[in-house]
């Protein structure tokens, strides 16, 4: 993208950015009510699914017990408590063990849990249990699998389209699906009845392991954990691939103009993966959920609790999801650094009130890359990063400007894939007043940094980077909240 808008900067303005001005420091020391890290406290689980009931009422269900499922409750998507068993296998139940991947939807005043378990013959099936309350207790519908087509089926997801039509997506499991001597998990879709209690017609094959990143291992390959999301009339079937204990267990997408295909996998897959990151492993099995104020789409997903020893012990993570103008789905993750919370319940974003510009050759050039909501993490995407030059005086500046003063409680700088350079320091100017507090990145290895403020309102924010050795830095995103 070419930035054409420029604004001259005078030498006097530049000088004020390089000399500290005494002012009341507005920095807030405790920012825990504004931020989160992907250590949400829920571990030794798998396959997390979050259900939003209202602005301050969330529930989460996971693979979590040998005889059923636990549920957790939260008011903000971050702090999870009130853990309790919401579904417990009965003595005369159709299922025996392997209770996996529960998902719950609210429909006509009741809560419907679709889940995986083994039947009495040891073959995996999809079950349906119903409750009057999202914390349960859930009771099996007719004490039988939802359907039985004579093969192992796992990882169900229900999607209700805008016209009210309903669909079920699931994986035909590799435990009983052999193709040319290979054990293969494939994703199928089928119409679901209006009462959610039966399927209609024959399931349709939608995806099979086919791209190089999906990496079949030792005669086994996986497309599993399907989730459907619709955007601008197109259907995005997101899924997990690779072995669940592999560090490279990752998420991909296949796209169609119809809920039952044909689905095509884009070449930008995977959409969530550890890539070259050393502090995360096994980013897989996910679900979509709205932020508290419903202005954002987020993803819950699991990763290995112990990065150096991947196993079935996994933890819950979240990441923001967005769509580019060309229809590409993008995930801001995986992240282990401090981030601003989902919008609502204490954080309300005002980034769109500001325009961003970068000082280049004595002029400010407008940059939409810095405020488009996207930042790179697991791979370098040049269309997401802005290059900020460091001048001969060792200074680089990003200027954020609003039409009128804006109340500000937090600002997040994402360096993205490049991470924060070690030879860099940072400080701020608000409405031409420089504050003496600074950040030194010499001992920092992260990619994002959040600053909280007390009683601050500003029309202009200058973020000032200084370095004795760097010629430029890469910045992925600036986020501002009130």
Residue 18 has pLDDT above 50, yes or no: no
What pLDDT does 432 receive? 86
C-alpha closest to that of 475 among 340, 359, 350, 362 = 359
Give 160's strand partners.
166
Of residues 296 and 22, more confidence is placed in: 296
- Residue ending a domain, choose from 299, 316, 336: 336
| Pair (85, 21) in one structural domain | no
Residue 34 has pLDDT above 90, yes or no: yes
Q: Domain with 460 in it: what CATH number?
A: 2.60.120.260
Cα dihedral across residues 164, 115, 317, 238: positive or negative: negative
| Pair (328, 396) in one structural domain | no
Q: What is the mean pLDDT of residues 462-469?
A: 94
Please indicate, yes or no, if residue 341 is contained in any of the structural domains: no
| Pair (295, 407) in one structural domain | no
> Which band of pLDDT confidence, cut at 50, 70 and 90, is reported for residue 346?
confident
Query: CA 454 to CA 449: how far, in whole Å?
Result: 17
| Pair (243, 125) in one structural domain | yes
| Pair (46, 148) in one structural domain | yes
**Tens of pLDDT, residues 144-188:** 999 999 999 999 999 999 999 999 999 999 999 999 999 999 999
Domain that includes residue 163, residue range: 38-336
Q: What is the mean pLDDT of residues 437-449?
A: 76
- Average pLDDT, rounded, for the chain: 93
The four Cα atoms 197, 203, 205, 206 give a dihedral, to 10 degrees, of -40
Cα dihedral across residues 176, 181, 184, 188: positive or negative: negative
Please indicate, yes or no, if residue 196 is contained in any of the structural domains: yes
What pLDDT does 217 receive? 79
Please indicate, yes or no, if residue 452 is contained in any of the structural domains: yes
What pLDDT does 439 receive? 75
Q: What is the mean pLDDT of residues 385-406?
A: 96
- Residue ending a domain, choose from 336, 368, 391: 336
- Residue ending a domain, choose from 336, 363, 384: 336
Record the pTM: 0.93
| Pair (149, 192) in one structural domain | yes
| Pair (89, 216) in one structural domain | yes
| Pair (174, 85) in one structural domain | yes
Find how far residue 213's CA is from the centre of its chain. Answer: 20
**Tens of pLDDT, residues 110-155:** 999 999 999 999 999 999 999 999 999 999 999 999 999 999 999 9
Please indicate, yes or no, if residue 342 is contained in any of the structural domains: no
Please indicate, yes or no, if residue 435 is contained in any of the structural domains: yes
Q: Domain with 162 in it: what CATH number?
A: 2.115.10.20
Q: What is the mean pLDDT of residues 267-279?
A: 95
Q: What is the mean pLDDT of residues 323-337?
A: 95
| Pair (163, 98) in one structural domain | yes
Q: What is the mean pLDDT of residues 39-60?
A: 97
Residue 287 has pLDDT above 90, yes or no: yes
Please indicate, yes or no, if residue 1 is contained in any of the structural domains: no
What pLDDT does 382 receive? 81
- Report CA-CA distances (Å) from 239 to 162, 208, 224, 265, 393: 22, 11, 6, 11, 49
Please indicate, yes or no, if residue 444 is contained in any of the structural domains: yes
Q: What is the mean pLDDT of residues 290-306?
A: 98
**Tens of pLDDT, residues 212-250:** 999 777 899 999 999 999 999 999 999 999 999 999 999
| Pair (57, 188) in one structural domain | yes
What pLDDT does 441 receive? 73
Count of domains for the chain: 2
**Tens of pLDDT, residues 407-427:** 999 999 999 988 888 889 999
| Pair (230, 365) in one structural domain | no
What pLDDT does 29 receive? 84
Please indicate, yes or no, if residue 144 is contained in any of the structural domains: yes
| Pair (182, 219) in one structural domain | yes
Percentage above 90 pLDDT, the chain: 85
Query: CA 427 to CA 425: how far, in whole Å?
Result: 7
Percentage above 70 pLDDT, the chain: 94
What pLDDT does 2 receive? 39
Give 251's strand partners.
240, 272
């Amino acid at each position: 993208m070419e930035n054409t808008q420029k604004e001259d900067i005078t030498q006097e303005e530049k000088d004020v950015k390089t000399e500290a001005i005494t002012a009341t420091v507005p920095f807030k020391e405790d920012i825990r009510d504004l931020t989160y890290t992907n250590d949400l406290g829920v571990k030794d689980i798998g396959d997390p699914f979050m259900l939003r009931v209202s602005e301050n009422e969330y529930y989460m269900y996971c693979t979590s017990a040998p005889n059923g499922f636990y549920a957790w409750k939260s008011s903000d998507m971050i702090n999870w408590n009130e853990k309790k068993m919401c579904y417990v296998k009965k003595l005369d139940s159709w299922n025996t063990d392997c209770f996996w991947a529960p998902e719950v939807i609210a429909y006509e005043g009741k809560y419907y849990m679709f889940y995986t378990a083994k039947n009495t013959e040891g073959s995996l099936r999809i079950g349906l249990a119903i409750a009057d309350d999202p914390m349960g207790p859930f009771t099996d519908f007719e004490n039988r699998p939802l359907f039985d087509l004579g093969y192992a089926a796992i990882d169900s997801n229900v999607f209700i389209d805008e016209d009210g039509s309903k669909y079920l997506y699931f994986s035909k499991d590799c435990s009983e699906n052999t193709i040319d001597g290979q054990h293969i998990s494939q994703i199928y879709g089928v119409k679901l009845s209006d009462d959610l209690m039966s399927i209609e017609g024959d399931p349709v094959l939608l995806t099979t392991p086919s791209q190089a990143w999906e990496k079949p291992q030792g005669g086994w390959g996986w497309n599993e954990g399907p989730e459907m999301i619709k955007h601008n009339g197109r259907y995005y079937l997101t899924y997990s691939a690779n072995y669940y204990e592999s560090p490279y267990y990752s998420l991909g997408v296949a796209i169609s103009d119809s809920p039952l295909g044909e689905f095509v996998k884009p070449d930008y897959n995977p959409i969530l993966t550890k890539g070259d990151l050393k502090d995360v492993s096994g980013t897989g099995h996910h679900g979509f959920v709205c932020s508290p104020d419903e202005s954002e789409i987020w993803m819950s997903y699991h990763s290995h609790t112990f990065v150096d020893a991947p196993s079935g012990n996994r933890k819950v993570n979240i990441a923001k999801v967005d769509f580019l103008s060309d229809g590409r789905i993008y995930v801001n993750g995986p992240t282990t650094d401090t981030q601003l919370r989902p919008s609502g319940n204490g954080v309300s974003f005002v980034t769109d009130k500001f325009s961003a510009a970068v000082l280049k050759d004595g002029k400010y050039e407008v940059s939409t890359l810095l405020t488009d909501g996207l930042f790179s993490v697991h791979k370098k995407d040049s269309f997401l990063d802005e290059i900020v030059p460091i001048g001969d005086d060792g200074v680089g500046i990003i200027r954020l400007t609003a039409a009128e003063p804006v109340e500000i409680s937090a600002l997040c700088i994402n360096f993205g894939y490049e991470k924060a350079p070690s030879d860099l320091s940072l400080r701020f100017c608000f409405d031409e007043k420089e504050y003496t507090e600074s950040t030194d990145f010499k001992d920092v290895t992260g990619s994002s940094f959040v600053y909280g403020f007390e009683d601050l309102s500003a029309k202009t924010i200058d973020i000032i980077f200084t370095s004795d050795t760097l010629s430029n830095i890469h910045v992925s995103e600036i986020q501002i909240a009130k």
